[in-house]
Amino acid sequence: MKSLHMLLALLVCAALLVAGCTTAAEGGSQEKPFWTKDTPAPTPNTPTPTVDSEYVSPATPYPATTDRPSPPAQQHPAVTPTTPAHLEVIHEKVVLGYGHPAAAWEINVTQAPLVVEFSVQPKMVTRTVVYESSYGSHKEETKTVTTISDRSRLEVTVRDGDGNIVAQDGFAGLYSVDESKKIFVMSPGKYHLDIRGTDVTVDLSAMIGQTGQTTE
């Protein structure tokens, strides 16, 4: 008889345990056992903008002008480095548009060349175009087209200490729509680097030569 009572007690305990698990599953409980620990999601690494203050200082952009003298023709000489070829003194991502149309820096080029490299991400615009079908009843049809914004422009200018333009290039407008370009300046000195534009994001790098580098 005692064994029967113990068997009944075990069956009741098992039924209560099953009922508790079922209730937790139906209620969608998110509670975790006390011995588990939450592991935070990894934080993505983002590149930090770089400006070498030994060679670079912030500057005021030149006033916008429609007078555009032709800069001297650029040469791309062969470079024979005996140490790492270039020292990167600027590495920034700049968004140009309404409220922030320009940015500028003064660069002390102690060793030529000065190499300015930039990549452009223009603003893209999506439009719905209505056209007449060339088949059957020539009914009107629509399609979605994504193109570069008509306002996307960039101009990159390097001036010498007297304000004369020594190199210039850009994106769209007066320039090609190649999205990656380089500008070379082959003489040491103090230069003013100016970028201005609308509806573009610019990845900008400026590099100068290092002691021990020779050019041919």
pTM as predicted:
0.65
159: β partners:
165, 192
Which segments of 116-185 does DSSP mark as H helices, in order?
none
Which pLDDT value is given to residue 159? 97
Structure tokens at 63: 């006033």
Per-10-residue mean pLDDT of the chain, 216 residues long, equals 60 57 47 53 61 83 68 54 74 95 96 96 91 71 89 97 96 95 96 97 96 56
Which pLDDT value is given to residue 140? 79
Which pLDDT value is given to residue 9? 63
Residue 42: phi, psi to the nearest 5? Answer: -65, 140
Size (the chain), residues: 216
Which pLDDT value is given to residue 139? 75
CA proximity to 97, closest of 200, 195, 202, 203: 200
**Contact at 8 Å (CB) between 122 and 148?**
yes
Calpha distance 118→151 (Å, rounded): 19
Which pLDDT value is given to residue 61? 86
Residue 18 DSSP code = H
40 cis-preceded (ω within 30 degrees of 0): no
Which pLDDT value is given to residue 82? 45
Q: Are strands 86-96 and 50-51 parallel, antiparallel or unpaired?
A: antiparallel
Neighbours of 41 (CB within 10 A): 6
Which pLDDT value is given to residue 213? 55
**Looking up tokens 């509670």, which residue turns up?**
31
Neighbours of 38 (CB within 10 A): 6
- Which of helix, strand or coil describes residue 163? coil
Which pLDDT value is given to residue 91? 97
Which segments of the chain does DSSP mark as H helices, in order?
2-27
- Which of helix, strand or coil describes residue 24? helix
